[in-house]
Amino acid sequence: MRRITQLFYLFLSTQLRSVQAQASTPQPDTLSLQPQDPSAFFLSEIQGQPPQTRTFNFDITEVNGAPDGVKRTMLVVNKMFPGPTIEVNQADRLVVNVHNGLTNKTSIHWHGLFQNGTAFFDGVSGISECGIPPGETLTYNFTFGEFSGTTWWHALSTEYTDGITGALIVHATAPNPPSTPKYDAELVLQLSDWYHLLSASYLPQFLSAEGIMGLPGAEPVPDTGLINGIGQYHGKGSFFTVGFQHLYRLRLIHTGSFPSLRFSIDSHVLTVIEVDGTIVQPMQIAGVQLGVAQRISVLLTTNQKPNVYWMRSELDTAMYNYVNPGQVTDIRGVIRYSNFKSNVTVPVNTTDPGPGNPKVPDFSEAAARPAIAVNPPASTKQYDLSFIFNPGPTGGVLAFINNISWVPLTNTFTMTEVQAAPITFAPEGLQTLNQNTLVLTEMNLQTIDLRVNNLDNGPHPFHLHGNKFWIVGEGAGTYTNQKLNSNNPLSRDTIIIPASSWVVLRFIGDNAGIWAFHCHIAWHMASGLLMQIVIQPSKIAAAAIPGAITQQCAS
Ligand SMILES: [Cu+2]
């Protein structure tokens, strides 16, 4: 890898600062949450170093911030937003000492990781722990096993909507497949929607019978969006300077809470090479849609006329149920060629000119194929799951999977309950516990098909913890034994299930643990759109849950 990362830098121009000042006259200190060292988003050259333990200290606190110039209360790690980028090699061990400086319990989930043998470090309150009590610390300590690629860490509740997020990059031990072009440098781009109020101030109205704007079940519509934690409310965006005639790997991560978004760069064709940690055969694209929590790596070749170009992260307003006055959905940053000799800082024209080649399509998940072909085995178990939104017992709209809306356990968690009664906690198959918990249990090794029907009229990005799944089928309507594809299908860990559609997701249940399967829209988790998959309870019973986790429940 060539040493050219010093060519990059990220800065807020004085022009942008004045735009921000006009927007809300923020206090000077409220702009300082972004890393002062812009190299935080450019990956280092640790790849190839000997395996080692990498230790981070996370201090979660409530602060005032103004990522887009509008001051608000935020919850952040180490007074940074986004939080620290964790960059490791696949054979490393990661140790993160997480101190909870908030007034509520919290936990950190390491998205996409398999946590093989360490399911108790999955960071889900009510499932793998009770949550870190205020003032206390939990040390997460795990290895990566078979996982490599682009991912992120976040609080597993709407607390992440308030700022507890960061990138997690796991460099693979194996070299990239020959089909992957060699790139010169890597840049992490965390794309998100953004709200001007704390998530806790939206939740009661969202879950109430009358709903927000008198619309029961309508999700809070974000005010704007951010790129690496910087946005300009009615302003311009983040700036990146790139070398001429270089090949960059842009690691895109949707760290937001609600709308999907479309990423593109004006006048540049991009090449997709990674989907949620799976290296895919290179695909030339004009733009790519990401649902909440999805990751895509694209290659950018800086071979156009030296100039400034818009980088776009457009929020999908089709998912909004009302208009939020002043909402900004056209989120932009700037790519500046280092050999562009001009005082011009932003492109004059704001209209999207496209990628420069009208024949190049947007990314198609259905057309994506892993670079290293794998045909999944036939399934040995099949389960039908349907989800829908309906008024709950108190009138507010809740989400239901097979008629069950999830309510998290408090003062205990599923893993410790399974340990106490591995045979009787939940019989094999689909079971409902306490009328508020849907559990799928497999006692033995199985290859499982989740046949999921989205009966709702909106799309939902579903995430399976602890595993990647193969997408062996998808289509409109409901699943009625349509033909499935096991010829090198894409595998990933988060899939957008379109409105009124079905998918069949296949995975091998060889990772003992309790794995959440849920919609990643933060508001929908709060409405109960989550179920649990209990894999091999006898092995879960043998796991040594750290005392620091079981002791959380007494607080
Ligand atoms: Cu959802």
End-to-end alpha carbon distance in the chain: 49
pLDDT for 32 = 52
Rounded to the nearest angstrom, the distance between the alpha carbon of 529 and the centre of ligand 1 is 7
Q: Residue 232 pLDDT more than 90?
A: no
Q: Residue 231 pLDDT more than 90?
A: no
In a 3-state reduction of DSSP, which class is residue 543? Answer: coil
Q: Which residues surround ligand 1, an ion (CB under 5 A)?
A: 460, 519, 521, 524
Burial class, 233, CB count within 10 angstroms (exposed 0-12 / middle 13-18 / buried 19+): buried
| Tens-place pLDDT, residues 41-76 | 889 889 999 999 999 999 999 999 988 888 899 999
Rounded to the nearest angstrom, the distance between the alpha carbon of 426 and the centre of ligand 1 is 26
Rounded to the nearest angstrom, the distance between the alpha carbon of 74 and the centre of ligand 1 is 23
Query: What share of the chain in percent tops pLDDT 90?
Result: 85
Sheet of strand 239-242, all strands in order from the earlier edge strand to the far edge: 10-11, 239-242, 330-337, 308-315, 261-265, 288-290
Rounded to the nearest angstrom, the distance between the alpha carbon of 183 and the centre of ligand 1 is 35
Q: Residue 2 pLDDT more than 90?
A: no
Rounded to the nearest angstrom, the distance between the alpha carbon of 140 and the centre of ligand 1 is 28
φ and ψ of 104, to 5 deg: -120, 160
DSSP conformation class of 404: B
Rounded to the nearest angstrom, the distance between the alpha carbon of 499 and the centre of ligand 1 is 10
Rounded to the nearest angstrom, the distance between the alpha carbon of 286 and the centre of ligand 1 is 26
Confidence of residue 250 (pLDDT cuts 50, 70, 90): very high
Domains of the chain: 381-554 (2.60.40.420)
| Tens-place pLDDT, residues 86-115 | 999 999 999 999 999 999 999 999 999 999
In a 3-state reduction of DSSP, which class is residue 403? Answer: coil
Q: Residue 19 pLDDT more than 60?
A: no
Residue with tokens 């953004």: 194
The residue type of 222 is P
Asked whether 270 and 264 are in contact (CB, 8 A), the reply is yes
Predicted complex ipTM: 0.84
Rounded to the nearest angstrom, the distance between the alpha carbon of 406 and the centre of ligand 1 is 13
Rounded to the nearest angstrom, the distance between the alpha carbon of 131 and the centre of ligand 1 is 23
Q: Residue 16 pLDDT more than 80?
A: no
φ and ψ of 194, to 5 deg: -155, 140
What's the mean pLDDT in 471-496? 98
Rounded to the nearest angstrom, the distance between the alpha carbon of 165 and the centre of ligand 1 is 19
Rounded to the nearest angstrom, the distance between the alpha carbon of 516 and the centre of ligand 1 is 14
Rounded to the nearest angstrom, the distance between the alpha carbon of 521 and the centre of ligand 1 is 5
Rounded to the nearest angstrom, the distance between the alpha carbon of 297 and the centre of ligand 1 is 24
Number of Cβ within a 10 Å radius of residue 202? 20
pLDDT for 255 = 98
Q: Which residues, in sequence order, are CB contacts of 554 under 8 Å at separation 6+?
A: none
Rounded to the nearest angstrom, the distance between the alpha carbon of 166 and the centre of ligand 1 is 22
Tell me what the pLDDT averaged over the chain comes to: 91
Burial readout 306-316 (b: 16 or more C-beta within 10 A, e: otherwise) = eebbbbbbbbb
Q: Which residues, in sequence order, are CB contacts of 304 under 8 Å at separation 6+?
A: 267, 268, 337, 356
Rounded to the nearest angstrom, the distance between the alpha carbon of 530 and the centre of ligand 1 is 10
| Tens-place pLDDT, residues 421-441 | 999 998 999 999 999 999 999
φ and ψ of 231, to 5 deg: -145, 160
CA 332 to chain centre: 20
Residue with tokens 């004009």: 286
pLDDT for 24 = 39
Rounded to the nearest angstrom, the distance between the alpha carbon of 346 and the centre of ligand 1 is 36
Rounded to the nearest angstrom, the distance between the alpha carbon of 219 and the centre of ligand 1 is 10
The CA-CA-CA angle for residues 256, 193, 330, to 5°, reads 140
Rounded to the nearest angstrom, the distance between the alpha carbon of 95 and the centre of ligand 1 is 31
Sort strands 261-265 and 288-290 into parallel, antiparallel or unpaired: antiparallel
Rounded to the nearest angstrom, the distance between the alpha carbon of 459 and the centre of ligand 1 is 7
pLDDT for 238 = 67
| Tens-place pLDDT, residues 128-175 | 999 999 999 999 999 999 999 999 999 999 999 999 999 999 999 999
CA dist 535 and 491 (Å) reads: 20
Rounded to the nearest angstrom, the distance between the alpha carbon of 432 and the centre of ligand 1 is 21
pLDDT for 12 = 27
Query: What share of the chain in percent tops pLDDT 70?
Result: 92
pLDDT for 345 = 85
Find the range with the poorest average confidence among 46-50, 460-464, 476-480.
Answer: 46-50
Rounded to the nearest angstrom, the distance between the alpha carbon of 524 and the centre of ligand 1 is 5
Rounded to the nearest angstrom, the distance between the alpha carbon of 91 and the centre of ligand 1 is 34
* H-helix or E-strand spanning residue 213: none
Q: Residue 237 pLDDT more than 80?
A: no
Burial readout 207-222 (b: 16 or more C-beta within 10 A, e: otherwise) = beeebbeeebbbbbbb
- DSSP per-residue letters across 455-524: -SSS-EEEEETT--EEEEEEEES--SS-----SS--EESEEEE-TTEEEEEEEE--S-EEEEEEE--HHH
Sheet of strand 397-401, all strands in order from the earlier edge strand to the far edge: 397-401, 381-391, 447-454, 501-508, 469-476, 491-492
Rounded to the nearest angstrom, the distance between the alpha carbon of 196 and the centre of ligand 1 is 21
Rounded to the nearest angstrom, the distance between the alpha carbon of 542 and the centre of ligand 1 is 34
Nearest CA-CA partner of 90 in 148, 165, 164:
148
CA dist 346 and 215 (Å) reads: 39
Q: Which residues, in sequence order, are CB contacts of 32 under 8 Å at separation 6+?
A: none
CA dist 52 and 347 (Å) reads: 44
* H-helix or E-strand spanning residue 329: none
Asked whether 284 and 362 are in contact (CB, 8 A), the reply is no
Rounded to the nearest angstrom, the distance between the alpha carbon of 482 and the centre of ligand 1 is 24
Q: Which residue has the higher pLDDT, 388 or 242?
A: 388
Asked whether 108 and 98 are in contact (CB, 8 A), the reply is yes
533, β-bridge pairs: 440, 515
